[in-house]
Chains A and B, each alone.
Chain A
């Protein structure tokens, strides 16, 4: 059980969690899977420095802790709270069926592996899996975003997309200033906060969170 094997296994697990989110029929399960995925990702910056043979620096530590606090604890807490107090149908209601969206997701994963193999990189990544996993997390987040009706699942899709950006950012951990990373985390938090308020008001106004019905004009 080398550190390399564990990093690879974690990255594979991240893809599996993405596909699990596509297959899960409950909103709360989706949020919990996202929290688990972020928990796994929070430890990656530390693992990366260990793999390169250094002791984990302050930079990686702060990124990990910020991810842990925000994406594992705070955002899932807000989302679960909306679902709990929402008193609406807790099922996901997809545009595409679950089995079909899992298959589409698998095709996207295969596609991103094919693209990543041809992608020239300026540096040697710690694990060959980082680029394909980042691309497939991005694409699967996008798929969740467009194929689900509920406002909450669209928030989850956006967060998964951001996780993909985070994985891609691991490549440039050394080069990126700490301030930029923290700025992204702060943006994300503000974004989710605003979306939570919007979702709350959609529900207050229309008694549901179904964005599908928002584009129908209604005079009454």
Chain B
């Protein structure tokens, strides 16, 4: 019995590690489909990663060890977070009471090192990107934490795999509309943290308007592969948190649970693709309003959940 669970956990881990580039591929394919193009092949992100990993890296003489550590620490932080977040099934590999805080700050740690690496290059463009990334990151954090407060008060737990697991399915009637608000707030957080339209345009080619892409201009070879894969992994992790809240599953066999989550994740990637096609990115000084909106949504949800105003 334990052997079966170990094998299932290993299979799930492999799937979690293999899935992120595919989600990026779904986003790109959706955008191509909307524009009437065929788009790159489905496995293009994997080919890109393979190509980058086989290349050598070029380092500027002005950079220090911080620049080299950036991508590695980012990827390590995200992989650690992946062991705490219940990604596909409702169980995480590790998990303890209070691990939500660790997950949130592992995301922050990854971002910190990407930002430090960008500042280390001494390029003014990268400094600008770093400043924007930090500004928007600061503003999306309250929305994330207020959403987590709602989930914690609904499930009376501080362990992420319980907060968004079957316990949430049991508690969803008691929280009602608050959960919908949390879904809206988390969607905006997802779009901000993964640098998607309407906050940032991952396909832009103008350094002045970039946020995430401008910070990684100097990385090459394997370092750039780590960053690309890390961004995709972050999308997977935040996306699965969002989906666990939007569609709580009852406790059921992982053989039904996991394929259902994979389909939902594909759907989420398609939705992100549709958002990218159907709207332009916001003017830079309007982005704080969007993030304030997310914070207000989450705050309203927290008020509803904490005052018990919803039956």
Chain A residues with CB under 8 Å of chain B are 4-5, 8-9, 12, 15-16, 19, 23, 98-99, 102-103, 105-106, 109-110, 113-114, 116-117, 127-129, 132
Contact = CB atoms under 8 A, between A and B. Distances in A.
Contact of A12 (B177, B296, B299): B177
22 contacts: A5-B176, A8-B176, A9-B180, A12-B178, A12-B300, A15-B300, A98-B289, A99-B288, A102-B292, A106-B295, A106-B296, A106-B299, A109-B300, A109-B303, A110-B299, A113-B307, A113-B309, A128-B309, A128-B310, A129-B304, A129-B309, A129-B310
B142 to A, nearest CB: 11
A103 B292 contact: yes
B24 interface: no
A9 B183 CA distance: 14
Contacts of A117: 307, 309
A23 B303 contact: no
A15 B309 CA distance: 14
A129 B289 CA distance: 26
A10 to B, nearest CB: 9
A8 B310 contact: yes
B293 interface: yes
A110 to B, nearest CB: 5
Interface in B264-311: 288-289, 292-293, 295-297, 299-300, 303-304, 307-311
Interface residues of B, number: 21
Given A9-B176, A113-B303, A19 B311 contact: no
A8 to B, nearest CB: 5
Contact of A102 (B296, B303, B309, B310): B296
B181 interface: yes
A-B CB proximity, top 10 nearest: A12-B177, A106-B296, A9-B177, A128-B309, A99-B292, A113-B303, A99-B289, A8-B177, A102-B292, A99-B288
A103 B296 contact: yes
Given A16-B297, A128-B309, 8 more contacts: A12-B300, A16-B300, A102-B293, A102-B296, A103-B296, A106-B299, A113-B303, A128-B308
Given A117-B307, A128-B310, A23 B289 contact: yes
Contacts of A23: 289, 293
B245 to A, nearest CB: 16
A134 to B, nearest CB: 13
A46 to B, nearest CB: 19
Nearest to A5: B176
A15 B304 CA distance: 12
Contacts of A102: 289, 292-293, 296
Contacts of B303: 109-110, 113
Contacts of A16: 181, 297, 300
A60 to B, nearest CB: 21
Contacts of B304: 12, 129
Contacts of A19: 293, 296
A106 B308 CA distance: 18
A56 B163 CA distance: 40
A110 B176 CA distance: 18
Contacts of A98: 289
A8 B176 CA distance: 8
A19 B184 CA distance: 15
Nearest to B139: A99
Contacts of A116: 309
A12 B309 CA distance: 11
Given A12-B181, A99-B292, A4 B311 contact: yes
A99 B290 CA distance: 9
Nearest to A130: B309
A177 to B, nearest CB: 30
Nearest to A2: B173
Contacts of B289: 23, 98-99, 102
A94 to B, nearest CB: 12
Contacts of B310: 8, 128-129
Interface in B201-227: none
B292 A5 contact: no
Contacts of B307: 113-114, 117, 132
Nearest to A23: B289
A116 B293 CA distance: 24
A129 B295 CA distance: 21
